[in-house]
Amino acid sequence: MADERPPSGEIFGVPYNFNRPSLGRMLSAYWQPGEEMLVKKPFGVGYTLNLANWRSWIVLGVAALLVAQESKGEETSEYEENEEPVEVIVD
């Protein structure tokens, strides 16, 4: 029996699109002036950021700051490799 599901639509209010993406559709999906911050993904399930909306750039900036802060935190760890281990004796 052949699968009769359409290649695009919505399931429980979440959009999906499994049509083969074209370059034009990919570019137009990420740049939609006048639309909200989240728009339907050009391929796959869910939503993506609309780069024509200024709020998307704030979200990207905050994400970049968080990634930079996390990588900086990994560089300065509390335990330095050249420190001697501490021996703890429990009676």
What average pLDDT does this structure show over 11-29? 90
Domain span at 15: 8-73
Q: What is the pTM of this model?
A: 0.65
Does the residue 83 lie in any domain?
no
Sequence-distant (6+) residues with CB within 8 A of 90 are none
The CA distances from residue 64 to 3, 37, 54, 60, 68, in Å, are 42, 18, 16, 6, 6
CA-based R_g, the chain, Å = 23
Does the residue 86 lie in any domain?
no
Does the residue 84 lie in any domain?
no
pLDDT > 70: what percent of the chain? 87
Neighbouring C-beta atoms of residue 39, cutoff 10 Å? 21
Does the residue 35 lie in any domain?
yes
Does the residue 24 lie in any domain?
yes
Q: How many domains does the chain have?
A: 1
Question: How far is Cα 41 from Cα 16, in angstroms, rounded to an integer?
Answer: 7
Does the residue 85 lie in any domain?
no
Does the residue 54 lie in any domain?
yes
More confident residue, 36 or 1: 36
